[in-house]
Amino acid sequence: MQSLFFCLALLVGTAVAHHVGECGVPRIQPALEAGDRIEGGKEAVPGSWPWHVQVNERDGHHRCSGALVDDEHVVTAAQCVWKLKNVGELRVLAGAHSRDSVAEGQMSADVAEACVYKGYKGG
């Protein structure tokens, strides 16, 4: 499982500052039902998953998702950047609710560094 994760070192201190609260407890409660799934599930309540981020290419194309670990780091799947030659091509988007519109409070930051688990073999 560790081989699937890597961290992105980000410059998002100010982007996340207004989302600070009790760790793992969203200010806006999600509407969850038994059997809810990540894929093929229901639309989330805006703001109910404040640690969720999008990892996008600079042109806005969605590459993968991740989760904030602190105000400078994101954890996601290694395959997200495994073969990427330049992490400067990526931006992290926090506070988004839809890929098709801009949300109030939405912020982005350039990726400064990617750390892939050295035992990751790809695939």
User: How many structural domains is the chain composed of?
Assistant: 1
Residues spanned by the domain of 1: 1-18+50-123
Q: Please indicate, yes or no, if residue 29 is contained in any of the structural domains.
A: no
Q: Which residues of the chain have pLDDT under 70?
A: 1-26, 28-43
Q: Please indicate, yes or no, if residue 32 is contained in any of the structural domains.
A: no
Q: Please indicate, yes or no, if residue 35 is contained in any of the structural domains.
A: no
Q: Please indicate, yes or no, if residue 33 is contained in any of the structural domains.
A: no
Element (H, E) at 16: helix 13-17
Q: Please indicate, yes or no, if residue 97 is contained in any of the structural domains.
A: yes
Q: Please indicate, yes or no, if residue 84 is contained in any of the structural domains.
A: yes
DSSP 17: H
Q: Which residues touch 33 (CB under 8 Å, ≥6 apart)?
A: 42
Element (H, E) at 34: none
pLDDT for res 32: 62
Work out the percent of the chain whose per-residue pLDDT is above 70.
64
Q: Please indicate, yes or no, if residue 95 is contained in any of the structural domains.
A: yes
Longest C-alpha distance within the chain, in Å?
A: 41
What CATH number does residue 110 fall under? 2.40.10.10
**25-49 tens-digit pLDDT:** 667 666 666 655 555 556 677 777 7
Encoding tokens for residue 44? 């989330």
Q: Is the pTM of this model over 0.85?
A: no
